[in-house]
Structure 1
Amino acid sequence: MTQQLLPGYSIHSGTNQDRSLLIQFMQQSYREIFPEQNFAHLTRTVEQYFSRDTPLWWVTEGSRDELGAESSEELTFSHAPHTTHHAPLKVACLWVGNAVDQVKGDRHTYIFLLYVKPEHRQRGIGKALMRYLEDWARTKGDRQIGLQVFQSNTLALDLYHKLGYQIQSHWMIKTLEEGSREQGTGSREE
């Protein structure tokens, strides 16, 4: 079902046929932060996790009346060769799944991807999507929403902080050089 997200933008559910577009949005999101990397592996991520249990929403420019669509299927499948109308441009997406709180053990909504195309940023779309998701999660009985954000993604960090999200843990990694090993003193904790 299509509904207005905020003036000038509508939101509707994605379908299994949106898989390739979701991959494109994910790759673009990561390329903006790490332009030198190849993100072909994100295809495997979508293949592994995208299902009817991991909802996807698209934001299109224009209200429902302007789009003239009565259902999300019209929007989603309007790119098919047998249709005569043009699909509205998808300008943002939100893809979520489930996770388990590492401390409390409660299942909760987890954001896989929130992406707004650069030319549509600073218009309130990200904030509106987060509020939409919070309402959706509450109706499911979830008591929290989790996400992971890169430390260098200052725009996203600023949005999440303004919306009341707090750091619960730090994800740490160490790149291991091939063939070299740090010499320790033999104790487990140094």
Structure 2
Amino acid sequence: MSEVFIPGYHLRQGSRLDRALLLKFAYRTYKEQFPDQDLSHLALTVEQYFSPQTPLWWVDKFNPDSYPPEPIACLWLGNAIDLADGERTAHVFLLYVAPEHRKRGIGSALMAHVQQWAIGRGDRKISLQVFTNNQPALNLYQKLGYQPQSLSMQKILYREVELP
């Protein structure tokens, strides 16, 4: 079942049958941030974490002549534990909007959906991860009231060297 989400778009809940499509959207998401990276590990990530406890929603552009609907955005949610206080929180695993549909309020509307879902479950917080080089996403989350809680750091120990 789908519902009018914002004018011209419908929101519908995904199912366990959407595993391949979820992987496709995860790949798109990370390819934008890391175009030269091998992302084959995403298949294992989806395999391990996609479950009945991690719901999925799709946004379809309204087109009465198109069946099945072709999603232009994806929202995948789950659970996290705040290690500072032990509380379960709603966690955004993935939020992706196709580039040609950005700046139309879809990301903000999806985050409002996250908030409704979290409140409905009794969660008091929502967590997510955003890469520091993803300025549009950082701007969106800050505009919506999200604040940094921690900073993930890493040190690259070696890089594979290509031989001539």
The residue that corresponds to 1:58 in the other structure is 58
SS in 2 for 1:87: coil
Q: Does 1:168 align with 2:149?
A: yes
Shift of 1:174: 1.1
Over residues 60-90 of structure 1, what are the superposed CA-to-partner deviations in whole Å (9 max), with x where a residue is unaligned? 011xxx649xxxxxxxxxxxxxxxx721210
Instruction: Give the partner amino acid of 1:124.
Output: G
What are the residue-to-residue correspondences of 1:1-190 with 2, within 5 Å?
1-62=1-62, 67=64, 86-177=67-158
Instruction: Give the partner amino acid of 1:60.
Output: D
The residue that corresponds to 1:81 in the other structure is none
Runs of 5+ unmatched residues, structure 1: 69-84, 179-190
Alpha-carbon separation, structure 2, partners of 1:101 and 1:145: 10
Instruction: Give the partner amino acid of 1:104.
Output: D
Alpha-carbon separation, structure 1, partners of 2:76 and 2:158: 34
Alpha-carbon separation, structure 1, partners of 2:13 and 2:158: 44
**TM-score, with structure 1 as normaliser:** 0.81
Shift of 1:177: 2.9
Over residues 89-112 of structure 1, what are the superposed CA-to-partner deviations in whole Å (9 max), with x where a residue is unaligned? 100000011000111110010010
Q: CA RMSD in A?
A: 1.4
SS in 2 for 1:161: helix
Alpha-carbon separation, structure 2, partners of 1:4 and 1:86: 16
**TM-score, with structure 2 as normaliser:** 0.93
> After TM superposition, where is structure 1 displaced by more than 6 Å over at least 4 residues in a row?
none
Runs of 5+ unmatched residues, structure 2: 160-164
